[in-house]
Structures are given as structure tokens and as C-alpha cells.
Amino acid sequence: AQKVTQTQTSISVMEKTTVTMDCVYETQDSSYFLFWYKQTASGEIVFLIRQDSYKKENATVGHYSLNFQKPKSSIGLIITATQIEDSAVYFCAMREIMNYNQGKLIFGQGTKLSIKP
């Protein structure tokens, strides 16, 4: 069965520092996509970055990057040079590709990030 777990309920860091948010997942599928989303204070859910399970290279988009450790079923989100506007709730999600549940998109519980000036 699919499962996505984010154990960090909330994190608070100083502005301009680097923060890492953890996410572990469970799947029996050999191929899957992993996504990170941001939910702003207004409730809007915005896609940030994706990792394909069959790619060894960690994805990077702007000041977001991923730490993909497939043997540990782990996909951490790293935000460098944090800004006040990065304060939000961050969700990790997984979608399997190969099995009969393909297309089913499952989310973790979310991590609330607060950036202090």
C-alpha cells in the first residue's frame, strides 16, 4: 500500500538560512513520481519540484532542491537562502506509475515552515 509520512510538524528558521524538510514513503511499485507542494496562507496549493524515481540525479528548481535517497525511501526538500515569503505549509506527495493504482496521488501530513526575520 502507498503511504507518505512527514514527521516534522513545524520548523522555524532564521531568514537567509538553509532548511531541510523530511519525507519518507512506502510503495511496492518500482517506478513512481515524488512531488513537493507549498500551501500558502491563503490556502493556495502550488507545485514546487518533482523527482522521478528512475533518475539518480537530485532535482533542483531555483532555490529548491531535493535529497533523494531511494534505498531509504526518502525525499527531503532543501530550501536555500530562505525568505520570509517561504513561510508556508509544505507537502510531500507520491504517485505510482506501474501498478494498478497508477495515477493515485497520496500526500503526507505536511510541515509548517516559519521564517523569522
Partner 1 sequence: EAAVTQSPRSKVAVTGGKVTLSCHQTNNHDYMYWYRQDTGHGLRLIHYSYVADSTEKGDIPDGYKASRPSQENFSLILELASLSQTAVYFCASSDGGHQAPLFGEGTRLSVL
Torsion of CA 82, 32, 56, 36, to 10 degrees: 0
Q: Whose CA is closest to 68, among 28, 22, 112?
A: 22
If one asks whether residue 103 binds partner 1 (CB under 8 A), the answer comes out as: yes
**Cβ contact 73:25 at 8 Å:** yes
Burial class (CB in 10 A: 0-12, 13-18, 19+), 7: exposed
| Interface size with partner 1, residues (CB under 8 A) | 23
If one asks whether residue 105 binds partner 1 (CB under 8 A), the answer comes out as: yes
Residue 58's H or E segment, with its range, is none
If one asks whether residue 32 binds partner 1 (CB under 8 A), the answer comes out as: no
Select 100 or 117, whichever has its Cβ closest to partner 1.
Answer: 100
Which span (13-21, 35-43, 58-66, 72-80) binds partner 1, by CB under 8 A? 35-43
Select 42 or 117, whichever has its Cβ closest to partner 1.
Answer: 42
If one asks whether residue 31 binds partner 1 (CB under 8 A), the answer comes out as: no
Select 14 or 47, whichever has its Cβ closest to partner 1.
Answer: 47
Q: How is residue 3 written as a grid cell?
A: 503511504
- Rule CB under 8 A: which of 43-102 touch partner 1? 43-47, 50, 52, 91, 93, 95, 102
